Amino acid sequence: MNLVITVVGQDQVGIVARVSSILADHKGNIIDLSQRVMTGGLFTMIMQINLLEPEQFTALEKAMGGLEGELNLKIMVQREDVFRFMHRI
């Protein structure tokens, strides 16, 4: 199952490491990753993930939700097909 994960918030040390660690814990493989720190310290990241065990989806969402609160970020975890449908032109 392919997923798209987006992360937005104030830049701080360890965001990529923490997100990647949660992904590894839930059998997620990073296919593509783009991240940037914009003017004013706004951190943005979008990742395409292959979730090797689709039954981990709910647990992954919950873990990312915990990290979202802990680091004061906005993290969205979506199935890639849903993401593409929502962002079609």
Using one digit for the tens of pLDDT, what is the confidence trace for 10-22? 999 999 999 999 9
| pLDDT on residue 76 | 95
Q: Compute the distance between CA of residue 39 and CA of residue 36 in angstroms, rounded to an integer.
A: 10
Report phi then psi at 32, rounded to 5.
-150, 145
Q: Above 60 in pLDDT, residue 89? A: no
Predicted local distance difference test score (pLDDT) of residue 37:
96
Domain 2-86, what architecture?
A: 2-Layer Sandwich (3.30)
Reported confidence tier of residue 23, pLDDT bands at 50, 70, 90: very high
Quick: pLDDT tens for 34-51.
Answer: 999 999 999 999 999 999
Tell me how far apart the alpha carbons of residues 70 and 51 are, in angstroms, rounded to a whole number. Answer: 23
Specify the pTM.
Answer: 0.88
> Which of 72, 57, 73, 74 is CA-nearest to residue 22?
57
Task: Kindly give, in sequence order, each residue whose CB lies less than 8 Å from that of residue 34, ignoring residues fewer than 6 positions away.
Answer: 45, 46, 47
Residue 34, token pair as written in the block: 């783009």
Task: Locate the domains of the chain by residue range.
Answer: 2-86
